[in-house]
Chain A
């Protein structure tokens, strides 16, 4: 693994660094996290850094991704948010909630999606409010997040809270399939 890290720290060609990231996704440990975290702001290697980081089962990865939330913007920020969602890092709820008010609609969509995956009571309250305030173009993504959050609540047997989430989706002005999903969910939450 040290050789792979060394490639990333060197002036090796781009392709070699891509391959090193891919390999670190398979064998990387927390020792590889600092160098990969540095790449989260690199336009050309940010994705491959996440490709390596996402599967490393060490909480320092979550720390690194959370730190990156305040450091990167635009597409790269969307990517970081997505990786946090894959890892379902509950400690990221607070910074993600603040991103629900970001000026970049893609960032808001990603933050909502990831919050929906993480779930929990605090997330539910924030997503319901965001859904109520969301402009039309953002509403489907936030509603999808609400449905995801409701499923997490349901899995945790928090039926009353799940039912409230489904109700909020049912009441929002959304295409029919969202209302169908909310109705289906509400039945399950009974």
Chain B
């Protein structure tokens, strides 16, 4: 995939410190031009050339030209899980990590180098430096906190990278729109981390609905996180001495968010629940479950049009409605399923419910599951989306087809998340026009569709 230099074992050469322009003499040359000139000068012909089998794509290895060169931005706990998953793909090679926290940079480097048996994983503190220097990187895994997901995605796509972004993938409706437009402008492949869209048991539920076996579907239920609240925290933690920029680049960590004094708890993960950093209990799991429901009911390219305020701190029980007449009800507890990120689809002929931890969906009639395997096989044959979310991304990086959780699916489902949050914050019913992308007759709600980014960040 990448056209950057690679070492003889087929791995991409580390380019942490580029040569000064004068010394390199290649600033305006493509790699091919450089190689051609170097070869003409005898530089490449001088050394004997032994190409190992792995570099030729033999011995079960993937040839370097077919490998996807991957970088990471903000790889913490969840991101490390993603990274392990991605590094398990034979055609993926991870080369560099960017993080505002030194300890995290080093932790990821240690993990990656340990896995590859070398010391090649490069580290970067500044995302701008990372994106500018690493032209060899084909795709990036973005697993920062919520506050950076959309901006980092847009910056990466402008730099020519394809993107896997953890969810919730935008802090505002405007950020989501920017992700869609940037991906479209540059023809970039993007996958949001709603991995249940690539899991068989959830796919069975969606296919039962799509194929009409539940009859006319009137209601879907979506799980929201049973911790935190829709009400947000605007306080600041007590100020603590700011570490050196190398240890924790606080300015970079805050990114586009309003400045506040440093407190180590934020960078240890204690940013959830704060308005500036988080999308509430609704965004925490709604990013998954709303996307699942919307894809299931054929609303992956739109958003809910009505939001019914509920007088509680969480949004539990909020009824939203789509233009096709289907209601989506937010549910915090385990009434309708057992386990996390549950969804339930109810039609005139039956229902299906599924959540994490299920071996197979629960259904109103066992007959609904008679051909589950075939439903999944037909789905993958029809859509060419495999039952692996990261594999789907990497297949699409190669084929340039749209992923299952593409920018539009992310944007439209996250718009429903944000609109539900805004409904809770303003404590009143709202109507949203997904075509005009604005709330109907509600100026205050419309003001909450975007937030000014802290300088110097521009999306």
- A→B interface (CB under 8 Å): 15, 18-19, 22, 25-27, 44, 46-48, 50-51, 53-55, 57, 75-76, 78-79, 82-83, 85-86, 106, 110, 113, 136, 140, 144, 147-148, 151, 173, 175-178, 180-181, 184
Q: Could you tell me if A54 and B452 are in contact, using CB atoms closer than 8 angstroms?
A: yes
Q: Could you tell me if A175 and B160 are in contact, using CB atoms closer than 8 angstroms?
A: yes
| With known contacts A55-B450, A175-B135, A181-B187, A76–B444 Cβ distance under 8 A | no
Q: Could you tell me if B456 and A180 are in contact, using CB atoms closer than 8 angstroms?
A: no
Cβ contacts B161-191/A at 8 Å (1 or 0 each): 0000000000000100000010001111000
B27 within 8 A of partner (CB): yes
| With known contacts A19-B234, A44-B259, A51-B258, A177–B187 Cβ distance under 8 A | yes
Residues of A within 8 A of B27 (CB): 136
Residues of B within 8 A of A140 (CB): 158-159
Of B28, B259, B444, B452, most buried by chain A (CB within 10 Å of CB) is B452
Residues of A within 8 A of B159 (CB): 140
The answer, among B174, B187, B444, B455, for a CB contact under 8 Å with A27, is B444
The answer, among B28, B174, B236, B453, for a CB contact under 8 Å with A173, is B28
- B→A interface (CB under 8 Å): 27-28, 135, 158-160, 174, 181, 185-188, 234, 236, 258-259, 443-444, 446-448, 450-458
Please name the 5 residue pairs, one residue from A and one from B, whose CB atoms are nearest each other, closest first. Answer: A79-B455, A177-B160, A55-B447, A51-B452, A50-B452
Give the distance to chain A from B173, nearest Cβ to Cβ, in Å: 12
Q: Could you tell me if B450 and A86 are in contact, using CB atoms closer than 8 angstroms?
A: yes
7 sample A-B contacts, Cβ–Cβ < 8 Å, listed by A number:
A18-B258, A47-B258, A51-B452, A57-B443, A78-B456, A82-B455, A144-B158
Q: Could you tell me if B447 and A82 are in contact, using CB atoms closer than 8 angstroms?
A: no
Give the distance to chain A from B123, nearest Cβ to Cβ, in Å: 23
Q: Could you tell me if B186 and A47 are in contact, using CB atoms closer than 8 angstroms?
A: no
Q: Could you tell me if A83 and B452 are in contact, using CB atoms closer than 8 angstroms?
A: yes
In the complex, besides A57-B443, A79-B454, A151-B185, 9 extra interface pairs with C-beta distance below 8 angstroms are A78-B458, A79-B455, A82-B455, A82-B458, A86-B450, A113-B458, A151-B181, A177-B186, A178-B186
CA distance A113 to B178 in the complex (A): 13
Q: Could you tell me if B236 and A46 are in contact, using CB atoms closer than 8 angstroms?
A: no
Q: Could you tell me if B458 and A85 are in contact, using CB atoms closer than 8 angstroms?
A: yes
Give the distance to chain B from A138, nearest Cβ to Cβ, in Å: 12
Q: Could you tell me if B455 and A26 are in contact, using CB atoms closer than 8 angstroms?
A: no
CA distance A25 to B174 in the complex (A): 15
Give the distance to chain A from B207, nearest Cβ to Cβ, in Å: 33
Q: Could you tell me if B187 and A110 are in contact, using CB atoms closer than 8 angstroms?
A: no
Of A53, A82, A175, most buried by chain B (CB within 10 Å of CB) is A82
Residues of B within 8 A of A176 (CB): 160
Give the distance to chain A from B443, nearest Cβ to Cβ, in Å: 7
| With known contacts A79-B454, A147-B185, A26–B447 Cβ distance under 8 A | yes
Residues of A within 8 A of B259 (CB): 44, 47
DSSP majority for the B interface? loop
| With known contacts A22-B234, A175-B135, A54–B186 Cβ distance under 8 A | no
Q: Could you tell me if B186 and A48 are in contact, using CB atoms closer than 8 angstroms?
A: no
Residues of A within 8 A of B450 (CB): 54-55, 86
| With known contacts A26-B444, A147-B185, A106–B160 Cβ distance under 8 A | no
Give the distance to chain B from A180, nearest Cβ to Cβ, in Å: 5
Give the distance to chain B from A4, nearest Cβ to Cβ, in Å: 14
| With known contacts A26-B448, A76-B455, A78-B455, A180–B186 Cβ distance under 8 A | yes
Residues of B within 8 A of A178 (CB): 160, 186
CA distance A58 to B346 in the complex (A): 46
Give the distance to chain B from A91, nearest Cβ to Cβ, in Å: 20
Residues of B within 8 A of A26 (CB): 444, 447-448
Residues of A within 8 A of B135 (CB): 175
CA distance A51 to B276 in the complex (A): 12
Give the distance to chain A from B375, nearest Cβ to Cβ, in Å: 36
Residues of A within 8 A of B188 (CB): 177
Residues of B within 8 A of A25 (CB): 447, 451-452
Give the distance to chain B from A84, nearest Cβ to Cβ, in Å: 11
Complex: chain A residue closest to B256, CB-CB:
A47
Residues of B within 8 A of A78 (CB): 455-456, 458
CA distance A53 to B451 in the complex (A): 10
Give the distance to chain B from A7, nearest Cβ to Cβ, in Å: 14
Q: Could you tell me if A47 and B158 are in contact, using CB atoms closer than 8 angstroms?
A: no
Of B27, B135, B181, B457, most buried by chain A (CB within 10 Å of CB) is B457
Residues of A within 8 A of B444 (CB): 26-27
Residues of A within 8 A of B457 (CB): 82
Complex: chain A residue closest to B448, CB-CB:
A26
CA distance A134 to B443 in the complex (A): 41
Give the distance to chain A from B83, nearest Cβ to Cβ, in Å: 24
CA distance A104 to B124 in the complex (A): 24
Residues of B within 8 A of A75 (CB): 455-456
CA distance A175 to B187 in the complex (A): 14
Q: Could you tell me if A48 and B258 are in contact, using CB atoms closer than 8 angstroms?
A: yes
CA distance A180 to B185 in the complex (A): 9
Q: Could you tell me if A47 and B454 are in contact, using CB atoms closer than 8 angstroms?
A: yes
Residues of B within 8 A of A48 (CB): 258
| With known contacts A18-B258, A19-B234, A22-B234, A47–B160 Cβ distance under 8 A | no
Complex: chain B residue closest to A76, CB-CB:
B455
Of B181, B444, B450, B454, most buried by chain A (CB within 10 Å of CB) is B454
Give the distance to chain A from B177, nearest Cβ to Cβ, in Å: 12
Give the distance to chain A from B325, nearest Cβ to Cβ, in Å: 32
Q: Could you tell me if B185 and A181 are in contact, using CB atoms closer than 8 angstroms?
A: yes
Of B159, B259, B444, most buried by chain A (CB within 10 Å of CB) is B259
Residues of B within 8 A of A47 (CB): 258-259, 452, 454-455
CA distance A154 to B206 in the complex (A): 38
CA distance A22 to B258 in the complex (A): 10
Residues of A within 8 A of B160 (CB): 175-178
Give the distance to chain B from A20, nearest Cβ to Cβ, in Å: 12
